[in-house]
Amino acid sequence: MVELKFKRFTLNQRIEHILFFTSFILLAYTGFPLKFPDEWWSRWMIESVGGFDNRTLIHHISGLVMIGVSAYHVIYHILEKPRFDILFHPKDINDFLQQVKYSLGFSSEHPKAGRYTWKQKFEYFGAGFGAVIMGFTGILMWHPFEAMRYFPLGVIQIANLFHTWEAVLASLAIFIGHFYDEHLGKFLNMSWLTGTVSEEEMRHEHPAEYEGIMGSYAPGNPEMNVPEVRSNSSAGSIMIMGFAKLLFTIVFLAISTWMLWISYQVLVEAVNTYIL
C-alpha cells in the first residue's frame, strides 16, 4: 500500500519560512520582557539570553533578519515569476461563506479551495503587513533621539504604541491561530520541512488543485510536477508522531495561556492610558 505525496513548497520557500518564523520567535522572546520588566518570567527570559545587552542585540539582529527576508521575498517574486494565485479573488468570499456553513454543520461540503485557502491568504498578507509595521516602527524606536531629528515626538510615541499592539496581535495570530490551524490541527503538518503534503490533505484542503493535478497526472512523465509515491508510515513512526503531538499540544496550551494573559495586560494598560 502506497500513498501519494504532493510537492507544495520549494527549498527556497522553506528556507524563507524558517528564517522568518525563527526571527519572529526571537523577537517575541526578547521583546515582551522589555514591555513587562517587573514580571518574574521577564527577568528569567532576559537572563536566559545572557543579560539585557544580549537581549537588545538579539532583538535588533532578529529584526534585521525579518526585514531582510521580507524584502528578499518581495524582490524574488517580482524578478522570478509573480504568482497571482496568492491574491484574493471573488471565489474566496464564497469559500469563506462555505467554510462557515461547513463549520456550523449546515453543509457537509468543504470549500473547494485551490492552491491557497482564504485563511492562508489572510495569514500571508497579515504577516507581510505586520512585518512592514514592525519594521518601520522598530527602526524608529531603535534610535529614538536620532529619529526625533526627522519626526516629532508624537510620531515616536505612536510608533511605540503600534509596535506593542502589532507584536501582541501577531503573536496571537501566529502562536494560537497559525500553529493550531496548520500544525496541531493537521497532526503536526511537517510540509514546512519536507515541502510535501499528503494526498488526504490535498483532497481536503485544496480539492480544486488536487483535481487539476490528478486530471493530468501521468506517471513517468519527467516534465510534469507529479506527486511523489511513498510508503505508508510504520506503526513506530505513528507512535512517535502521536507522542510529539501530545507534547506539542501541552506547549501550545501553555503559550496560548501566556499570550492571552499578555493581551489582557496590554489591553488594560491601553484603556487606563487612553480612555480612563
For the chain, what percent of residues have pLDDT higher than 90? Answer: 21
φ, ψ for residue 175, nearest 5 deg = -70, -35
d(CA 139, CA 156): 10
Which amino acid is it at 239?
M
More confident residue, 258 or 229: 258
Q: 130 CB contacts (<8 Å, ≥6 apart)?
A: 166, 169, 170
Lowest mean pLDDT among 19-23, 88-92, 211-215: 211-215
Instruction: Give burial (CB, 10 Å; 0-12/13-18/19+) of 113.
Output: buried
Which bin fits 195, alpha (ψ -120 to 50), beta or left (φ > 0)? left
Q: What angle do CA 66, 254, 99 make, to 5 degrees?
A: 75
* Partner residues linked to 230 by β-bridges: 3
Amino acid 244: pLDDT: 63
Mean pLDDT of all residues in 181-201: 76
Instruction: Give burial (CB, 10 Å; 0-12/13-18/19+) of 74.
Output: exposed
Lowest mean pLDDT among 73-77, 96-100, 184-188, 214-218: 184-188
Q: Are strands 196-198 and 228-231 parallel, antiparallel or unpaired?
A: unpaired
Residue 61 has pLDDT above 90, yes or no: yes
Cell readout for 266 is 496590554
Q: What share of the chain is helix, strand, coil (3-state, %, to 5)?
A: 70, 5, 25
Q: What is the CATH number of the domain that holds 171?
A: 1.20.950.20
CB 148 within 8 A of CB 156: yes
Amino acid 187: pLDDT: 57
d(CA 177, CA 1): 34
Domain range for 29 is 2-217+224-274
pLDDT band for position 206 (50/70/90)? confident
pLDDT, one tens digit per residue, over 28-48 is 999 988 888 888 888 889 999
More confident residue, 37 or 63: 63
Residue 223 has pLDDT above 50, yes or no: no
Amino acid 222: pLDDT: 41
Which pTM value belongs to this model? 0.78
More confident residue, 271 or 15: 15
pLDDT, one tens digit per residue, over 103-136 is 788 887 878 888 888 888 988 998 899 899 999 9
Q: Would you mind telling me the total number of residues written for the chain in this entry? A: 276
Element (H, E) at 2: strand 2-7
d(CA 188, CA 241): 8
DSSP per-residue codes, 185-214: TTTS--HHHHSEEEHHHHHHH-HHHHHHHH
Domain count across the chain: 1
Q: If we measure between CA atoms, which residue out of 206, 123, 99, 52 comes closest to residue 60?
A: 52
pLDDT, one tens digit per residue, over 73-92 is 999 888 887 777 888 888 88
- The DSSP code for 234 is P
Amino acid 77: pLDDT: 85
pLDDT, one tens digit per residue, over 127-186 is 899 899 999 999 999 988 888 889 988 888 888 888 988 888 888 888 777 877 776 666
Mean pLDDT of all residues in 8-30: 92
Amino acid 23: pLDDT: 95
Q: Spell out where 79-227 has E strands.
A: 196-198
Q: Quote the mean pLDDT of the chain.
A: 81
Residue 249 has pLDDT above 70, yes or no: no
